[in-house]
Chain A
């Protein structure tokens, strides 16, 4: 029995002895280095690019927009060019590429390309973007609008509570910077190899750019992604291929950290206004929301981010009637993209802070208010979905029980601690739809292949291990179903030439959807072997021996869409997700009232994971996501310069938590099985991001009386709020 146990990770040995090869560790013979020429303006016509004659261009190849066969980065809306052509819409936008024998030379060559601009007016404020005379996208700078209406508004008596909540940019900060190689193939095509989450996104993008199908994409060991390597690598791969095509040589592009910080996608900033009508007992009668998200200059995935935001903005709470409106707009800033949570953390920051505002207004205990509204069995969501086995109360009870254990204050070293500490505890709840929205999976039709050779089962999936442990849980799933040792199940390289498209490694879908497909594939494999068996056999080895020596078998399973899922894309009504994960977080912290610093003593999380396929891996995901959320809560801020670019583009100045900032964590795994997931498993990758920030804000409020409604709650903002002892922003 492997499911529910924690065998050490499959790729663990190579990682601990340091033999894993990440993209920048790869050194193909004759490899050149690529670098990117980037826009210095937020919005301008590009009059021309020229080489600085004072630079020694020997051995350097220059590629511009004119060299790109189809100059579109394939994703959702075809609005983003591979290299800007004639116009630049954000600072740091790629304009041209260079390749040179050394990285040093490539970087110097990129700096020696002179660009002539004709400046145009730039628009940075998302609240002024819609319909602005300055055009970035389409006629009105709107990437997407979504509205949800349910129930009738008006005609009720109650207390009106309004609030405005904001979140800023957040950088994924994978410790491995972006890196991609392109290698010319013997057949005239290209192999792309590098750091990525979605090999088939890249495959489609490069093929379309080239107008040629002779492409395969291989994932190298990847040092973290968190969504940051979902879509951006497609453009980077196109860049590497363009240089390989121009030089006939392998080319590697590895970003320096400062470039990665400046140029790659970030979490969408949000401004969310909530307007609720509540009864004196705190029941939500009417829930109104107006969401504005800033997508940056190009669409990337904005439609889907907004979608997830609006579907989570009520928090895990019942409302009689809802009127939800969301818009994602364009600004002349580097495009934003996927980051763990993908709109849901922003939405639930607002939802949870609003519950606290309602509680304060009504004079109710914040926890009691939540209990009165938390989804129960049979409740209907804003999209009209009836919830079965909602886990809100289960995670709440488990978190409260775990939080009864006394907190050990963190010992801070002399010289960095003050003596004026105010202590506080905060709690927040969240839900998170697992998998793609509505009928998204029907569109993807993800596939899993199983091949049997020499008694070993090889699993072919495009889902990539980016740290979360897919290389380990897939053998567990398949071995469990076939009744064999996990050592007999091996993962095929994630090479589009060798594995089918399982869909992207995103949306908390890999264990649940792709794992479920792998489970179905294992069953299909057994049925296939049984159908060819001469006698009625059930044991896997017995079936295999019937095949004969040297014989092989292969099945390819496609995700079977649950036909009972009803979803209307236009009205946003129906079953938004096949199932939901649930989370409760309790934060114990102290606020240094002399400095506004927040010291995290302990965080308790209780997360409904459906079924913990590998508890160590599952808890690892939760702990990592929780700390990312704490960083988002109090430390991580992107400071913009006058061109809309990132001013604090160094790790000295973009602050993520160190081991000394991190609290001790108590991680409770709750299991409310989902019948549609393998062995009951639900998606868990993103939910850890959804409620810690709000729990921190509640704790700060409990400790000091200061209520903050915008992230990050830096020491500067906390201290300012302490001084007014009231509301901040």
Chain B
């Protein structure tokens, strides 16, 4: 064990949390720990301070607000998987995160802010047109998921901001989620796909095939315009940028991403 002796700030209210974040932009934000603790143990993260949001009131929970579903940032994957109000594709993606023990602690906010290109829920936010609520002592703003990831591990989150909630609008259409991982559970994704289509609208979102979770706009436009499946698949393969890594190959990822889209579209 690589013991971490960093001081931990444990705000109980959102206001205190935002204050702490403003005071200590250098601090590591901690929620369920399923990423942060792995990084600390591996020696790649040595926090100078930690802001622990696990017990902070008002950050965990799911509620309907008007025609949106609001999911608090420290809502766990298990919470999401259990809630019938949550769209099926999001519940499915939550159940593919690691295994039960990970789902009981890992949070949607952590998954989003960790910004792994292979984050299992990330393409789902894109496909469902989610908005992320970013809060700071300066105020609150909403950023579309589509604008949130800007580069490898670079996001729209300012140094003094916390992700506090995700808003899902009431969207239409048939949606589909598919994760292709290294095995049937406790698997890092090789390809993640979340698609949604309805009249004139198409979303084709992917993970693990680029430095950020991404939508392939050209393929979406083609699909919305009624192009043949083979054309949509071709555009998907052209629009993603997978790599070779220790787990899989660029060719495999490109092949499979196209195949899963094609299979869904029929």
Binding site for B on A (CB under 8 A): 103-104, 107, 412-416, 418-420, 594-597, 635, 639, 647-648, 652-653, 655, 657-661, 715-716, 719-720, 723
Q: Are B184 and A719 in contact (CB under 8 A)?
A: no
Distance of A170 from chain B, by nearest CB (Å) = 16
7 smallest CB-CB distances across A and B, nearest first, come from A415-B92, A594-B259, A660-B184, A716-B252, A660-B185, A658-B185, A415-B177
How far, in angstroms, from A312 to B260 measured CA to CA in the complex? 42
Chain B interface, DSSP helix/strand/loop, else mixed: mixed
Residues of B within 8 A of A107 (CB): 2
Q: Are B263 and A419 in contact (CB under 8 A)?
A: yes
Q: Smallest CB-CB separation from B188: which chain A residue?
A: A652
Categorize the interface residue count of chain B.
35 or more
How far, in angstroms, from A9 to B259 measured CA to CA in the complex? 49
Q: Are B99 and A416 in contact (CB under 8 A)?
A: no
Binding site for A on B (CB under 8 A): 1-3, 88-89, 92-93, 95-96, 99, 177-188, 190-191, 246-249, 251-252, 255-256, 259-260, 262-263
Residues of A within 8 A of B181 (CB): 416
Q: Smallest CB-CB separation from A419: which chain B residue?
A: B263
Partner of A597, one of B177, B180, B247, B262: B180
How far, in angstroms, from A597 to B191 measured CA to CA in the complex? 13
How far, in angstroms, from A578 to B248 measured CA to CA in the complex? 45
25 contacts between A and B (CB under 8 A): A103-B1, A104-B1, A104-B2, A413-B96, A415-B95, A415-B179, A416-B184, A418-B260, A420-B259, A594-B262, A595-B191, A595-B256, A595-B259, A639-B246, A653-B182, A653-B188, A658-B183, A658-B184, A658-B185, A658-B186, A660-B185, A661-B184, A716-B252, A719-B252, A719-B256
How far, in angstroms, from A415 to B178 measured CA to CA in the complex? 4
With A655-B182, A660-B185 known as contacts, the answer to whether A104 contacts B259 (CB < 8 A) is no
Q: Are B263 and A635 in contact (CB under 8 A)?
A: no
Q: Smallest CB-CB separation from B255: which chain A residue?
A: A719
Residues of A within 8 A of B183 (CB): 635, 655, 657-658, 660-661
Distance of A722 from chain B, by nearest CB (Å) = 10
| Known interface pairs A416-B181, A419-B263, A716-B248; 5 further A-B residue pairs with C-beta atoms within 8 A, sorted by A's residue number | A412-B184, A414-B92, A415-B92, A420-B263, A658-B99
Distance of B29 from chain A, by nearest CB (Å) = 22
Partner of A416, one of B89, B96, B248: B96
Residues of B within 8 A of A596 (CB): 252, 256
Q: Are A594 and B260 in contact (CB under 8 A)?
A: yes
How far, in angstroms, from A635 to B177 measured CA to CA in the complex? 23
Distance of B260 from chain A, by nearest CB (Å) = 6
Residues of A within 8 A of B89 (CB): 415
Q: Are B252 and A715 in contact (CB under 8 A)?
A: yes
How far, in angstroms, from A107 to B42 measured CA to CA in the complex? 12
Distance of A628 from chain B, by nearest CB (Å) = 14
How far, in angstroms, from A419 to B2 measured CA to CA in the complex? 44
How far, in angstroms, from A419 to B180 measured CA to CA in the complex? 13
With A104-B3, A415-B96, A639-B246 known as contacts, the answer to whether A594 contacts B256 (CB < 8 A) is yes
Q: Smallest CB-CB separation from A417: which chain B residue?
A: B178
Residues of A within 8 A of B246 (CB): 639, 647-648, 653
Residues of B within 8 A of A412 (CB): 184
How far, in angstroms, from A453 to B241 measured CA to CA in the complex? 73
Q: Are B260 and A595 in contact (CB under 8 A)?
A: yes
Residues of A within 8 A of B178 (CB): 415-416, 418
Q: Smallest CB-CB separation from A658: which chain B residue?
A: B185
With A415-B95, A418-B263 known as contacts, the answer to whether A716 contacts B184 (CB < 8 A) is no
> Counting chain B CB atoms within 10 Å of each CB, which of A414, A659, A720 scores highest?
A414
Residues of A within 8 A of B179 (CB): 415-416
How far, in angstroms, from A416 to B1 measured CA to CA in the complex? 33
How far, in angstroms, from A635 to B186 measured CA to CA in the complex? 13
Q: Are A413 and B3 in contact (CB under 8 A)?
A: no
Residues of B within 8 A of A104 (CB): 1-3
Q: Smallest CB-CB separation from A418: which chain B residue?
A: B263
How far, in angstroms, from A657 to B185 measured CA to CA in the complex? 9
Distance of B178 from chain A, by nearest CB (Å) = 6
How far, in angstroms, from A647 to B247 measured CA to CA in the complex? 10
Distance of A33 from chain B, by nearest CB (Å) = 11
Partner of B185, one of A635, A661, A716, A719: A661
Q: Smallest CB-CB separation from B184: which chain A residue?
A: A660
Distance of B149 from chain A, by nearest CB (Å) = 21
Q: Smallest CB-CB separation from A647: which chain B residue?
A: B246
Distance of B87 from chain A, by nearest CB (Å) = 12
Distance of B69 from chain A, by nearest CB (Å) = 19
How far, in angstroms, from A412 to B89 measured CA to CA in the complex? 15
Residues of B within 8 A of A723 (CB): 255
Distance of B229 from chain A, by nearest CB (Å) = 13
How far, in angstroms, from A597 to B182 measured CA to CA in the complex? 9
Residues of B within 8 A of A661 (CB): 183-185
Residues of A within 8 A of B187 (CB): 655
Residues of A within 8 A of B252 (CB): 596, 715-716, 719-720
Residues of B within 8 A of A419 (CB): 263
Q: Are B92 and A413 in contact (CB under 8 A)?
A: yes
How far, in angstroms, from A104 to B43 measured CA to CA in the complex? 12
How far, in angstroms, from A264 to B260 measured CA to CA in the complex? 39
Q: Smallest CB-CB separation from A102: which chain B residue?
A: B3
Residues of B within 8 A of A657 (CB): 183
Q: Smallest CB-CB separation from A656: which chain B residue?
A: B183
Q: Are A653 and B185 in contact (CB under 8 A)?
A: no
Distance of A362 from chain B, by nearest CB (Å) = 34
Residues of A within 8 A of B180 (CB): 416, 595, 597, 715
How far, in angstroms, from A715 to B183 measured CA to CA in the complex? 10
How far, in angstroms, from A660 to B255 measured CA to CA in the complex? 25
Partner of B247, one of A103, A653, A720: A653
Residues of A within 8 A of B188 (CB): 652-653
Q: Smallest CB-CB separation from B93: which chain A residue?
A: A415
Distance of A415 from chain B, by nearest CB (Å) = 4
Q: Smallest CB-CB separation from B252: which chain A residue?
A: A716
How far, in angstroms, from A414 to B184 measured CA to CA in the complex? 11
Residues of A within 8 A of B256 (CB): 594-596, 719
How far, in angstroms, from A658 to B98 measured CA to CA in the complex? 11
How far, in angstroms, from A657 to B95 measured CA to CA in the complex? 18
Residues of B within 8 A of A414 (CB): 88, 92, 177
How far, in angstroms, from A454 to B187 measured CA to CA in the complex? 55
Residues of A within 8 A of B95 (CB): 413, 415
How far, in angstroms, from A594 to B261 measured CA to CA in the complex? 10
How far, in angstroms, from A109 to B179 measured CA to CA in the complex? 42
Residues of A within 8 A of B185 (CB): 658-661
How far, in angstroms, from A549 to B249 measured CA to CA in the complex? 74
Q: Smallest CB-CB separation from A108: which chain B residue?
A: B2
